[in-house]
Amino acid sequence: MRTDTVKRRHPAVLLALWLVVAAAAIARAQEHVGTVTGVEGQAEVMHSGASAWSPLQEGDPVALGDQLRTRQDSKMLVTLRENSVLTLAPASQLVITEQVVAPAAASRFQLLLGTIKAAVTERYSEPNARFEVATPTAIAGVRGTSFLASYDPSQEETLVVGLLDVTRVRAVVDTQGTSEVNLGPGFATRVRRGSRPLAPALIPEEQLRSLQKATELGGRAGRGANRLDARRPQRPGERAMSTEEQAVDQPLLTPGNPKPPPPPPPVPRIQP
């Protein structure tokens, strides 16, 4: 008797469990992970599960799974809940695929086309933290820094530019990261479909200026971004600096530029 009862109730139990799982998935997909903090022109969003685009305005929430895009001559600024800042240049399209704050911060975005600038907080410098922007050909990962990424679908090529500290770049086809390259401030690499990243090289100043202009709204980099936004280094290996850091010009410490030795101790004065 009890066995028959369990069998009769089994479909109902499975249905109840399925509804719980489905409700949790829907709630997660609608989880707010940031806010639109600036719009120039026309920006739009396609929510997870939707089939149509909706207009976005400053102050609108951004949810996990949202697909964001800017029209021609439009820009958008998004501040994540942990204060990292994303700027979409004109004619850009981005998907928020992961965003976790605790126990370790983890964010992942898919850049489908166009250009994005990311100003990432120091939260991602903590152990097990991860911040990645993926394109169809490359993955850029950072730990509390700032960088630019651009994808051209007509050329099937990704351009990544380091702005502050170190940006790690690998090809999508390089699943083990054996050919990963590290970009210092002002250095760039390109990744074609099916290819490894090119050797890092200083990006031409005019091109860098154009990318910076495309990812600034009304001349501002956005809340929290000024501290992380970098100026172009003047020589290879020089550390890029924010406005506040320009008072102290220190080079990056690299294998070719080791830490200088400490100054010698003062010579004791001999009393007559």
Render the burial of 18-40: b for 16+ CB within 10 Å, e for the rest: eeeeeeeeeeeeeeebbbbbbbb
Record the tokens describing residue 255, joined without a space. 């294998």
Return the C-alpha torsion angle 240, 245, 250, 254, nearest 10.
-50
Q: What is the pLDDT of residue 126?
A: 85
Report whether pLDDT(261) > 70: no
Query: Any idea which residue has 């202009």 for tokens?
Result: 213
More confident site: 14 or 171 = 171
Q: What is the pLDDT of residue 17?
A: 46
Decide: pTM greater than 0.75.
no
Q: Select from 3.30.460.10, 3.40.50.300, 2.60.120.1440, 3.40.50.1260 the CATH code of 31-247.
A: 2.60.120.1440
Q: What is the pLDDT of residue 125?
A: 86
Distance CA 207, CA 219 (A): 17
Report whether pLDDT(14) > 90: no
pLDDT band at 208 (very low <50, low <70, confident <90, very high): very high
pLDDT digits (tens, 9 = 90+) for 124-152: 888 888 999 999 999 999 887 899 999 99
| Spatial contact of 258 and 266, defined as CB atoms under 8 Å apart | no
| Spatial contact of 45 and 54, defined as CB atoms under 8 Å apart | yes
Could you give the percent of the chain with pLDDT greater than 70?
69
pLDDT band at 184 (very low <50, low <70, confident <90, very high): very high
Give, for 62, the enclosing helix (H) or strand (E).
strand 61-63
Domain-wise residue ranges, the chain: 31-247
pLDDT band at 122 (very low <50, low <70, confident <90, very high): confident
Distance CA 212, CA 112 (A): 19
Report whether pLDDT(26) > 80: no
pLDDT band at 181 (very low <50, low <70, confident <90, very high): very high
Number of residues in the chain: 272
